[in-house]
Amino acid sequence: MSSPAPDNTTIAPTVSRLLLPRPALAGCVRGLMVRDTRGVALSEAQRYNHFPATPLCSLVWCLDGEAHGLLPGHPARADTPRLPMPAPVLFFGPFTGPMISHNPGPVRRLVLLLMPDALHALTGVPPADWVDRYAPLAEVLDADWQALGAAVLAEPDEARWLALIEDFLAPRWAVLRPAEAPAAQRYRDWTQALALRAATSAPGRSLRQVERRLRQWAGQPMRELQVLARGEQAFFQAKAAGEAGRLSWAEVAADTGYADQSHLGRITRRLTGFAPQELTRRIQDDESFWPYRIWM
């Protein structure tokens, strides 16, 4: 998938930031993304939102404004068909490819990013049932989670959003948190810890049984989780090398386990929709790539 160059690549002074939970929730919550474009003049191109493939599940609060999803594999253009966002609080499963959404006007959004195995432990919902899918929260999670969704939606004080979510999750996660849950939030660390837990948490330890547990907990097979982990590792290494003025995509590919630079390019396109060089440029210059920038 590729998109034409946006008509305005200037990064706007929007409020897009990442909130991190208390350390005890590190194995449960990856973070909370806040997006607020009220009172900010944006071009049409700047009202798109580009998201990479992810193993995470998420709850999305549509607090103000409208959002429409674009059909998967279609570019960010006015003639691309839109998909409706059917409720003010939505549940998203893991996504195996990039996603694009569009806001026709100013918006305020909150996105809670949950580790899929933590979601499964907390709710019993199999992430595998929700790969590349989303639905209203009420169709997926029980009354307690729906009450949390309503409480955040009704809370006008942004400073209280994180507190409401932490107070809801902390006592539940304290009971279920695996002893080997990694404190680090990188996909590689999480994937390694998940594989170890799958191999040691039950009597059956054959490759097929371990893979079955991984699918149950994470929704995707280990090979796909490793693709995502390696892609993220390459992303952060390229960022560090670029900041040091010595970015070489061939070196990034070799250092992060790709067969060669072309292999890195193919995987990057599959996960993000763009070649590595184009993705790097857009992260730096294109407002619609704000989800990438707040992780940097």
Identify the band that residue 1 occupies on the pLDDT scale cut at 50, 70 and 90: very low
Residue 246, exposed/middle/buried by CB under 10 A (0-12, 13-18, 19+)? exposed
DSSP H helices in the chain: 116-123, 143-154, 159-176, 187-200, 207-218, 222-243, 249-255, 261-272, 276-285, 290-293
Mean pLDDT of all residues in 77-90:
90
Identify the band that residue 247 occupies on the pLDDT scale cut at 50, 70 and 90: very high
Is pLDDT at 169 greater than 80 in this prediction?
yes
Is pLDDT at 243 greater than 80 in this prediction?
yes
pLDDT at 146: 98
pTM of the prediction?
A: 0.90
Tell how strand 99-102 and strand 89-92 pair up. unpaired
pLDDT at 6: 46
